[in-house]
Every structure is written in structure tokens, then in C-alpha cells.
């Protein structure tokens, strides 16, 4: 089964004193390699911060565009990792290994059946 | 990859390899990671080098090796309890791991999954996933729950075991009294998951049935008692009919239509002797009474020769030992056989409209009695109701065939 790990976190966490960004990035990269070696890694995508977003709506044929973020909160969606896992509990275990889980929140969601076949990411 | 069926090996060995890894690595999370790594290594090496003589010990060794390697590289190894670390390093030199220890690992894991600090629903979810190898999604489907709810339940149960430092061990027999009932229940759950797989296409997953019987035998050796005998007898008697329970097309064959000449007489003899032994040692538990019912069926050479009066009598006893709606339903079916469908229907109607309204077997049983009474329209409605509640493929086939015969 396929699952998407939506990563939410507070960007301020990356700039707190004592946070070793280089080490964090290396661990993240290592873990991606581990997921790949285990046949779990399907792809990932990081996103720019929410204030770089434009929010688009069409109502009654009329388009509106406002500057972001969509949801005003400290934690924001920063990207996603797509994984293959035997079941939800394995997906949860794999998500817990993401270093991002230590500074943010990972929302693990099953990929809806209708959206299979696999996407071409990364 | 000629002749190498990794899926089959995975299904057969997963539970026991995991149980050993949980003991060796001291926790579920590490063990599951190691299990995945071990099977990955097998997928790479076995097609090239052939399947090792003992796949299970190979997988346990490979999993343990990968785990230690990963722990060392990540620096987590130093953070582990020194005691566990020593044990891990010690085991590293022992190849292959001690067979007898491995034999008991699943039993250890069952006692862990059944630990009284866990609520009953968590014990069940944990057992089905870790020992039976069901996925979160399958457990959710079987218990009409959301996968997210089951996933959370399993994660919480594991961290409770971890936080309370529940040891992975079979406790000394003196401590069995308050644990045995849950352990027996769990073993029967494993058997039933094998015997009436709650999801999927294969009605019988033989490896789970065999594992449950093996575990009951192991328990009996460690600490004999009438309840263990009763459960073992019950499972052996069920197993004696396993080969005749499904038709070649995979559909379910009812007891009355099974080819009794193909029932396994050795299992019947062993099961019946055990059941009678347990029945002679009161207080008689519900597994023993169920085993006596199964033994009575097994003794009948033809379906028509079944001693329904004796079976109905055992159901009276069972209802007293275990006053549940499901037992009441089975008793009603036995009474219908003894006194006629009308008498059974009178007992089933309130159950099917009440407590068992969402229980597929209540509607299937009701449909069958209505069919026998010639009340075809009502029977059809009841079969449709049962079908709506049934996901199991071979049961669906059976119900659809019955429905077709009514037209």
C-alpha cells in the first residue's frame, strides 16, 4: 500500500540556537537512502514557505487570488514523502524514522485507491 | 527464481522470526525493522545462493545482524541498556541460534501481547498483527473499525509494553492463573484467523492453524491443565475436517455436506480422548464443552446419524458457562436439528433482530431455517441481509449459491 507523509513544521525550529542544520540534512539524506534500500521510497517534494503561496479560488466563474499562507499557523506544510509500506502501522514506523518527525509533525495518509498508478516524482 | 516462493515463506515464517527478533532486540520497533531487512536480504540472496536449509534461523540471524549494524552506525547501540547490548554481542557469535529458545519465542510474545496492562481490544489487535501477520487495514475491516484507529491502538499498546518494561518471557506457572485465560483466548484467535480467515480469498490459512496447535501443545508441556486440554482438543477436532471444508472452487462446504470419509481419524481420536479427559475434570470450561460438541459431530458416520440431542445438551451447558448471544444462536441451531426448524426459528428471531443484527451468521442461519420451512420470500431477504454483512469470498459464494437455489 502507498502512503503519503505530509510534513508540517514550524520553520523557526530550524533557526533555534543549537540546531545543527548540516547534521540534520545529512541524517535526512541517510534516511532517504535507507528507505530506498528497503524498497519503501517512492518520492518526495519539499515546498517553499507558506508566505510564498498564492491562494486561488473560482466562485461563480470569478477568479480570486490572494497571497498566502492558506492557513495561518506556526506549523505549516513543508512538503511530503511518498512511501510504500505493508500496512498503516509499518507506514507509521517508517514516518517516525524521518528526522523531520523530531522537529515537526508527520501526517500519514493512505493514498486514495483511485489515484493509483504510481506518480513520477523526484 | 524457479521454485522460490518468497511470499509463501514470508507468510509461514514472519510471525516466528519476528517473535525471536523481539526477544533478541528487546522491542517491537527494532524487531520489525530488522524483520523487513532480513526478508529484503533473503530476496536478494536466495535466488542467487538458494534457500538455506533452515530459513527461519537464517532470517533471525540476518535480522539480528542488520539491526546491530544499523544500531552501531547510528550511534544508537551505545545508548542501549548494557545488559541487552552484552546479550546481543554474545548472540552474535552463536550460529545458529539455540533452537529450543526459538521454539518458545512465539509463546513469549503471546504472553507479552496478553499482558494485563493492555486493554482487551489492544491485546487482540496486537496479536492479530504481530503473530498472525494481518495488516492494520485487514484488522480494521474484520472489526469494522478505521485503520487509523487500529494503528493508534497498536502503537499505544507497544509503547505501553515498552514504558512498563514488560519482560519478553513466559512467566513461571505460579503466575499463570490470571493470564492463562487470555493466552488461551489468543491462541484460539490465532487458530480461528487461520480457520475462518476474516478477510482475503483463502478460507483456511493452514500455517496459522498449525501454529496455534503447536503453541497449545507447548503450553500443555509447560503446565498441563484441563482448559489447555480442552482447547487443544477443540482445535484438533476442527482441524480433522479442514480438508473437507472447502470445495475445489474455494466455496464453503457445510458440515452436513462434507465427505466424512476424508476426515482425519488420527486427529479425531486424539482430540476426542483429550476432550473426554478434560470433561472428566471439573470445573469444565467452555473450550472443553465445545470440544465435546465437535467430538459428537466427529463420531457421526453420516450427517443424519448426528446425535443432536447430545449436542443440544452440551449447548445448554455452554450457554451457562458462556452466556452470550453467539452461543445462544448456536444452541438454537442445534435445537432446530433436534426439534425442527420452527423451534429453532423462534429462538433465532429475537437474536437476529436484536443483539446479533449485524452478525452475518445469525442471518445465514435464519435464512436456512426459513428455506427449510418453505418460506422462500423471507429466506431470500435473510440471505440478502447475510450477504450484505459478508466480505469473505468463499462465504459469499456459498450464500449466493443458496440464494440461486431458491429461485
Helices and strands, counts by H and E, chain B: 20, 0
- Do B108 and B93 share a structural domain? no
CATH number of B145's domain: 1.10.10.10
Q: Note the pLDDT tens digit of each residue in A70-112.
A: 888 888 899 999 999 999 999 999 999 999 999 999 999 999 8
Q: Within this chain, do residues B53 and B132 fall inside the same structural domain, yes or no?
A: no
Are both B137 and B166 inside the same structural domain? Answer: yes
Please answer whether residues B227 and B180 qualify as being in contact, where contact means their C-beta atoms are separated by less than 8 angstroms.
yes
Which of B40, B136, B147 shows the shortest C-beta gap to A38? B40
State pLDDT tens for residues B125-156. 998 899 888 889 888 877 778 999 999 999 99
Tell me the residue range of the domain where B404 lies: 323-407
Cβ atoms of residues B250 and B397 within 8 Å: yes
Same domain, B22 and B82: yes
Task: Select from B76, B151, B152, B158 the residue whose CB has the most chain A CBs within 10 Å, as the one to mutate to test that interface.
Answer: B151
Q: What is the dihedral of CA B378, B396, B130, B244, to 10 degrees?
A: 110
Clarify whether residues B116 and B72 are in a common domain. Answer: no
Q: What is the pLDDT of residue A91?
A: 97
Look at residue B3 and tell me whether its pLDDT is greater than 80: no
Residues in chain B with CB shorter than 8 Å from the CB of A93 are: 29, 32-33
Q: What is A2-114's CATH topology?
A: Alpha-Beta Plaits (3.30.70)
CATH code, domain with B375: 1.25.40.10
- Across the interface, whether the CB atoms of A89 and B40 are under 8 A apart is answered no
String of DSSP letters for B178-246:
HHHHHHHHHHHHHHHHHHS-SSSS-S--HHHHHHHHHHHHHHHHHS--HHHHHHHHHHHHHHTTGGGSB
End-to-end Cα, chain A, rounded Å: 19
Q: Is A46 on the interface with B (CB under 8 A)?
A: no
* HEC sequence for chain A: CEEEEEEEECHHHHCCCCCCHHHHHHHHHHHHHHHHHCCCEEEEEECCCHHHCEEEEEECCEEEEEECCCCCCCCEEEEEEEEECCCHHHHHHHHHCCCHHHHEEEEEEECCHHHCCCCCCC
Out of B97, B125, B141, a domain closes at: B97
SS3 helix, strand, coil % of chain B, rounded to 5? 75, 0, 25
**Nearest residue on chain A to B155, judged by CA atoms?**
A89
Instruction: Tell me whether the omega of the peptide bond preceding residue A117 falls within 30 degrees of 0, making it cis.
Output: yes
Show residues of chain B in contact with A88, CB under 8 Å: 135-137, 147-148, 150-151
pLDDT tens-digit readout, B278-331: 999 988 999 999 999 999 999 999 999 999 999 999 999 999 999 999 999 999
Q: Is residue B60 part of a domain?
A: yes
Burial call B345-373: b when 16+ CB within 10 Å, e when fewer: bebbeebbeeebeebbbbbbbbbbbbbee
ipTM above 0.90, yes or no: no
Cα–chain-centroid distance for residue A27? Answer: 16
| B13 and B63 assigned to the same domain | yes
Per-residue pLDDT at B91 exceeds 60: no
CA atoms within 13 A on the CB side of A97: 23
Position with higher pLDDT, B91 vs B174: B174
Rounded-to-integer distance, Cα B268 and Cα B236, Å: 7
Give the separation between CA B167 and CA B171, rounded to whole angstroms.
9
Give chain A positions within 8 Å (CB) of B135.
1, 86-89
DSSP SS3 for B280:
coil
Nearest chain A residue to B38 by CA: give it.
A38
Predicted confidence at residue A110, as pLDDT, reads 94
Quote the distance between the C-alpha of residue B343 and its chain's center: 33
B137 interaction partners in chain A (CB closer than 8 Å): 1, 87-88
The answer as to whether B293 is a domain residue is: no
Amino acid at each position: 500500500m502507498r502512503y503519503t507523509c505530509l510534513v508540517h513544521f514550524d520553520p523557526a525550529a530550524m533557526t533555534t540556537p543549537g540546531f545543527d542544520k548540516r547534521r540534520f540534512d545529512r541524517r535526512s539524506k541517510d534516511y532517504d537512502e535507507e528507505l530506498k534500500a528497503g524498497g519503501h521510497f517512492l518520492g518526495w517534494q519539499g515546498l517553499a514557505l507558506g508566505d510564498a503561496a498564492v491562494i486561488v479560488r473560482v466562485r461563480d466563474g470569478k477568479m480570486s487570488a490572494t497571497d498566502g499562507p492558506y492557513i495561518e499557523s506556526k506549523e505549516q506544510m513543508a512538503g511530503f514523502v511518498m512511501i510504500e509500506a505493508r500496512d498503516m502501522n509499518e507506514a507509521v514506523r517508517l514516518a517516525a524514522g524521518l528526522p523531520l518527525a523530531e522537529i515537526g509533525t508527520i501526517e500519514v495518509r493512505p493514498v486514495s485507491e483511485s489515484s493509483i498508478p504510481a506518480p513520477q516524482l523526484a | 527464481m524457479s521454485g522460490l516462493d518468497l511470499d509463501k515463506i514470508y507468510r509461514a515464517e514472519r510471525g516466528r522470526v519476528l517473535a525471536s527478533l523481539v526477544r533478541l532486540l528487546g522491542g517491537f520497533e527494532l524487531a520489525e525493522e530488522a524483520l523487513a531487512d532480513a526478508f529484503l536480504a533473503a530476496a536478494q540472496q536466495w535466488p542467487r545462493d538458494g534457500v538455506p536449509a533452515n530459513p527461519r534461523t537464517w532470517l533471525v540471524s540476518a535480522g539480528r545482524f542488520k539491526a546491530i549494524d544499523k544500531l552501531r552506525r547510528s550511534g544508537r547501540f551505545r545508548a542501549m541498556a548494557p545488559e541487552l547490548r552484552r546479550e546481543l554481542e554474545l548472540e552474535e557469535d552463536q550460529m545458529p541460534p539455540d533452537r529450543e529458545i526459538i521454539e518458545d519465542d512465539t509463546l513469549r510474545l503471546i504472553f507479552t501481547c496478553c499482558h494485563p496492562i493492555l486493554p482487551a481490544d489492544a491485546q487482540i489487535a496486537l496479536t492479530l498483527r504481530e503473530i498472525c501477520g494481518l495488516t492494520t487495514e485487514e484488522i480494521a475491516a474484520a472489526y469494522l473499525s478505521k485503520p487509523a484507529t487500529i494503528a493508534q491502538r497498536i502503537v499505544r499498546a507497544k509503547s505501553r509494553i515498552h514504558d512498563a518494561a514488560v519482560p519478553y518471557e513466559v512467566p513461571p506457572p505460579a503466575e499463570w492463573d490470571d493470564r492463562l485465560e487470555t493466552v488461551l483466548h489468543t491462541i484460539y484467535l490465532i487458530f480461528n484467523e487461520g480457520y475462518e480467515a476474516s478477510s482475503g480469498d483463502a478460507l483456511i490459512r493452514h500455517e496459522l492453524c498449525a501454529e496455534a496447535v503447536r503453541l497449545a501443545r507447548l503450553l500443555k508441556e509447560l503446565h498441563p491443565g484441563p482448559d489447555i486440554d480442552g482447547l487443544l482438543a477443540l482445535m484438533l477436532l476442527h482441524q480433522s475436517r479442514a480438508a473437507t471444508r472447502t470445495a475445489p472452487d474455494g466455496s464453503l462446504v457445510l458440515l452436513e455436506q462434507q465427505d466424512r470419509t476424508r476426515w482425519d481419524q488420527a486427529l479425531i481420536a486424539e482430540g476426542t480422548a483429550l476432550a473426554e479427559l478434560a470433561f472428566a475434570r471439573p470445573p469444565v470450561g467452555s473450550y472443553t464443552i465445545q470440544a465435546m460438541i465437535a467430538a459428537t459431530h466427529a463420531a457421526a458416520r453420516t450427517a443424519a446419524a448426528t446425535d443432536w440431542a447430545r449436542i443440544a445438551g452440551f449447548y445448554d451447558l455452554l450457554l451457562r458457562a458462556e452466556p452470550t448471544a453467539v452461543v445462544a444462536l448456536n444452541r438454537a441451531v442445534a435445537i432446530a436439528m433436534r426439534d425442527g426448524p420452527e423451534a429453532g426459528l423462534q429462538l433465532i428471531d429475537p437474536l437476529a433482530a436484536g443483539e446479533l443484527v449485524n452478525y452475518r451468521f445469525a442471518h445465514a442461519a435464519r435464512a436456512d431455517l426459513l428455506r427449510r420451512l418453505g418460506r422462500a420470500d423471507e429466506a431470500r431477504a435473510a440471505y440478502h441481509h447475510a450477504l450484505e454483512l459478508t466480505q469473505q469470498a468463499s462465504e459469499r459464494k456459498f450464500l449466493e449459491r443458496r440464494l440461486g437455489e431458491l429461485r
